[in-house]
Chain A
C-alpha cells in the first residue's frame, strides 16, 4: 500500500512538472474547462437556491386552501363555506381570505392587494391605513410622501396612510404587496358586503391528517378546489427543476463542443511530447505508467477546473445574485423583488456537477491518451 501511494505521489509530481512545462496550452484548456463548469454550476446553484427560497417562503403558508370553482374558473367562495368547514375535525384557524390583483396604470405594475389575516396582530389595520412591500415603496416613492394613492378599477381615487413598510428581507413574497383593511378592500374593488371570500385558508394540526381532511372537504363541497401546501411545494420543485434541467440541456451543446475541444487537445500531441513519451519508455516506463501519468494529468486538470469553476459560480450566484442567469430562471416583471439568495450548496449538486462535466471530459480524452501511451519508443525517436 505504501509503495503504491509513493508511486502515485511521484507520478503526480512528474505530471505537475510536465503540465507546467507546457503552460500556455494547458492554461488554455484549464480556462475553458473552468468556464464550462462555471456556467453549469451557476445554473445548478441558482436553481436550487430558488427552490430553497420557495420552500422557506411556503413554511408559513396555510396547509390547506379551499377555492370555489364556477364553470372551471375561480370564483368567490360563499361565506357559509367557512361555517361548514369549521365542522371538519382536525382543521383549525379556518378563515376566509380577501385578496386580489390590481394593475396600476400609472407604472404598469401588478400589485397584490390583500386584507391581513385576523390572526396577524402585527399587521392589523384600521380603515384608511395601509402596509406595503418594499418594492412598491421604491416604485411609488412612498418613503417621501407617506401616503399611497391608488386609482380604483372603477376610477375612484383612494388615499391611504402608509403605516409601515415591510422589511426588505421578506421581499421575495412581499415586494408587490398592499395590505388594507376589509372595509377599504371592499370599497376599492366595489364588492358587496356578503359577497364571500377569494379563498379559504386553514391550518391542520397534525400533518398526517392533511390527506383525510382534503378528502372530507371534497365530499362536503363538491365544487371546491382544495390545494395543499405540499401540492404547491411540489409544483415549485418541479417548475424550478424543470427550468434548471432545460437550461442544462441547452448547455449540453456547449458540453459537446468542449468535449470535442478536449479530444482535439489530447490527440494533437506535439513532437516534443511524443519524444518525451518515447524517452520515458526507453528509460523503462511501461505503457501502464504512461497511462497512469496521462490519467493523472486529466484528473488534475479536472480537479483544478472543478475547484475554480465552482468557486467562481458560488461568487456569481450568491455574491453577485446571478446577474447572467437571473432572467431565465426567475422569470421577470415590472415590480420584481430584489433579494439575495441564501447560500445553499449540497453534496447532490456537487456530485451532479462532477458527473456532467468530468464524464464527458474523460470520455473524450481516453482514446487519445491511450494512443499516446502505446506509442513504441523506436517510432518516435527514429
Chain B
C-alpha cells in the first residue's frame, strides 16, 4: 500500500533522514576519535568545515523527524477506514507487527532529535564549540534508532494488507485484558489525576527554583522528563475517559479524531514539546558548564525553562478544560 500519497511522503522523509543520519554518524565517529580544536592539522580544519554541513543537515533532519511523528500519527488515523476493525490509529498500527514498534521508535527519535537540537544550539553559542564531542556522541547513539525507525516504517507500509482484520483500540485499552495497554488503562484514575496535577504544581515550583540555581534547572529537567510518563498514564486512565464521556473507553489515539475537536493535538503537542525541552535542560545542566558559556548558557537555560513550563501549563489547562467541560462524573 505504498502507492498512497501521504505514505509516499513519509517514506521519502524516512529515506532522507536515514541516509543523512547514517552518513552523519560515520562522521560523528571521526569527530569522537580525532576532534581537537587546538590542533592545526589539515584533517582538523577539514573536519571543522565539514561540521557545518553535517550540523545543518542534521538540524534539518531533526526538525523533519518532529514533523514526521505528527504526520505519521495523523496518517494512521486517516487510514483506519481502510482496515476492517480499525477505528483509529491503534487499529492501523496493529495491522502488522511493525506498526507499533515503528511508532514507539518514532516517539523515542522525537525526544532524541529534540535533545540533539537543543545541545546543538548550545554548542553553536560557544566560541570553542564546547559540546561538539558530546553532540556527535549523541548522534552515534541516536543513529541506530533513526535507522531502525526508518526500516520499520518501510516494513510497516510495505506489509500493509487491507484484508487483515485488526484490533480496535477499545479492545486493547481495556482494564480486563492483559498487556501493557490494559495495565495503563487500569491505573487508578483518582491517583493518576492527583499525580498529574500534583506533578504540574511541583514542576511550576521547580521552574521558579530553576531561575535561581543550576541545581534547580537540573531538578526541573529530570522532573519534567519523568512527568511525561505520568501525563501519558493520566491521559490513558482518566483524561481520555472524560473526553469520550464514557468510563470504559481509554484509547489515547481516538482523542486525535475530528469528532473530539482534535483536542488530542492540543494535549500532546505541548506535552511532547515541553517534556523534550525539559530533557534538554536536564542534560545541559547536569553536564559540567563549559567556560566559554559561563555567561550565556544560564540565560539560555532560563529561556528554555520558561518555554517548557509555559507549555506544561498549556497542557495542564487543556487537560483541566477537558475534565471540566465533560459531562462525565467519575468521582463523588
Contacts and interface: CB of A to CB of B under 8 A. Distances in A.
Given A241-B5, A245-B3, A348-B6, A355 B71 contact: yes
B5 A359 contact: no
A233 B303 CA distance: 50
B interface, by DSSP: helix, strand, loop or mixed?
helix
Interface in A229-247: 230, 233-234, 237-238, 241-242, 244-246
Q: Residue among B4, B9, B53, B75 with the most chain A CB within 10 A? A: B9
Contacts of B57: 366
Contacts of B2: 245
Contacts of A238: 82, 162
Nearest to B70: A351
A351 B9 contact: yes
Interface residues of A, number: 38
28 contacts: A43-B5, A230-B84, A233-B81, A241-B4, A242-B3, A242-B4, A245-B7, A248-B5, A248-B8, A287-B49, A288-B52, A288-B124, A291-B52, A295-B56, A348-B74, A351-B67, A352-B9, A353-B9, A355-B9, A355-B71, A356-B5, A356-B9, A359-B12, A359-B13, A362-B60, A366-B53, A366-B56, A370-B56
Interface in A33-56: 43-44, 47
B81 A234 contact: yes
B3 A246 contact: yes
Given A233-B81, A370-B52, A47 B5 contact: yes
A374 B49 contact: yes
Closest 9 CB pairs of A and B: A245-B3, A355-B9, A370-B53, A352-B9, A374-B49, A241-B4, A352-B6, A352-B5, A356-B9
B218 interface: no
Interface of B: 2-10, 12-13, 16, 49, 52-53, 56-57, 60, 64, 67, 71, 74-75, 78, 81-82, 84, 124, 162, 303
A129 B6 CA distance: 49
A103 B38 CA distance: 86
A348 B75 contact: yes
Contacts of A242: 3-4
B8 A356 contact: yes
Contacts of B71: 348, 351-352, 355
Nearest to B10: A355
Interface of A: 1, 43-44, 47, 230, 233-234, 237-238, 241-242, 244-246, 248-249, 287-288, 291, 295, 347-349, 351-353, 355-356, 359-360, 362-363, 366-367, 369-370, 373-374
Contacts of B303: 1
B20 to A, nearest CB: 8
Q: Residue among B4, B7, B67, B84 with the most chain A CB within 10 A? A: B4
Given A353-B9, A355-B10, A363-B16, 19 more contacts: A1-B303, A237-B81, A241-B3, A242-B3, A245-B3, A246-B3, A287-B52, A291-B52, A348-B74, A351-B6, A351-B9, A351-B74, A352-B5, A352-B9, A352-B71, A359-B16, A362-B60, A366-B53, A370-B53
Given A287-B52, A366-B57, A374-B52, A359 B64 contact: yes
